[in-house]
Amino acid sequence: MRAAVLGTGVMGAGMARSLLRDGVGVTVWNRTPARARPLADDGARVAASAADAVADADAVLVALYDAEAVLGVLGEALPASAPETVWVQSATIGADATRRAVALAAGAGRTLVEAMLLGTKQPAETGRLTLLTAGDPAVFARIEPLTAAVSVKSVWAGPEVGAGTALKLACNAWVASVTAASAQSLALAGALGLDPNLFLAAIDGSPTDCRYAHVKGAAMLAGSYEPQFALDGALKDIGLIDDAARGAGVDTTLLDALEALFGQASRAGHGGEDMGAVYTSFGGAEGAGGAAGGSGG
């Protein structure tokens, strides 16, 4: 199988390497070429344009940052792919942009399915993502070598493209909430004169335990914010979740609070750091100014 990966940010680069390890031929493209070039050392072909990248691909994995990038690249590159090429939309772009992506693919006579990504840098690099899929199951059977290489689990949300996005928004609402709640409890414990690690010890193994709280909590307490999921990416997704919730008549009180907390951390200069830097909004340890990261190209 020949695959093209459009977008070589944290997630795209990790998935490209997972594909290469499984013997899939990979061509990569990124809007900033320097971010794609290191993948040549892993065996990928680096394309000069998105249209060039998809020209001989059996499947195209779209791992760009936002709706503007995804829709722009689809408009440019869909016609350059073979009619039988399967396009796999993996970027978190919200419900409205997903409908527009479906329309672009239909207009070009191309097949588009969703495989939304649940996981961060380490699962992407080790082929252990969870895929939230939507579309024709027969199409997924055709691209099984690709999905098997990048994931450890798939959850099929339904036959209509857009269901994967809906499930991803619900999951990311949980991820953002758990991250902020962990930050609040750690900061509160410290402010009350306790060792914040006692909070993590207290929930360990109990019905209220959450492994994610331990992973993010340890990084927060160390002031280590190397991006696994960049804070600005989380803030973008919270905005998409908020839009979806309002459109569906779901109360947004918690989302509004999350948007304020993550927005505060972003304005303080933590946008390119890991989303765990929301801890700083509670007066937690300042980050060490880690390298900027993100999920798109």
Classify burial at 145, counting beta carbons within 10 Å of its beta carbon; exposed 0-12, middle 13-18, buried 19 or more. middle
Domains of the chain are 2-161 (3.40.50.720), 166-282 (1.10.1040.10)
Does 287 have pLDDT greater than 60?
A: no
- The span from the CA of 225 to the CA of 150, in Å, is 24
Q: Sorting pLDDT into bands at 50, 70 and 90, what band is 294?
A: very low
Q: Sorting pLDDT into bands at 50, 70 and 90, what band is 286?
A: low
Q: Is 216 a catalytic residue?
A: no
Q: Return the axis-axis angle of helices 163-191 and 253-265, rounded to nearest 10°.
A: 70
Does 50 have pLDDT greater than 50?
A: yes
* Per-residue pLDDT tens digits for 80-106: 999 999 999 999 999 999 999 999 999
Q: Sorting pLDDT into bands at 50, 70 and 90, what band is 180?
A: very high
Does 288 have pLDDT greater than 60?
A: no
Does 297 have pLDDT greater than 80?
A: no
H/E stretch holding 143 reads none
Q: Read out DSSP for 204-224?
A: TTSTT--HHHHHHHHHHHHT-
Q: Sorting pLDDT into bands at 50, 70 and 90, what band is 285?
A: confident
Q: Which of 121, 168, 216, 236 is catalytic?
A: 168
> Which tokens go with 265?
């951390």
Mean pLDDT of all residues in the chain? Answer: 95
Does 253 have pLDDT greater than 90?
A: yes
Please report, for residues 17, 35, 44, 125, the alpha-carbon distance to residue 41 in angstroms, rounded to integers and kept in the order given: 10, 12, 7, 15
pLDDT at 295: 43
Q: Which residues of 147-161 are buried (b: 16+ CB within 10 A; e: fewer)?
A: bbbbbeebeebeeeb
pLDDT at 220: 98
* Per-residue pLDDT tens digits for 6-49: 999 999 999 999 999 999 999 999 999 999 999 999 999 999 99
Does 117 have pLDDT greater than 70?
A: yes
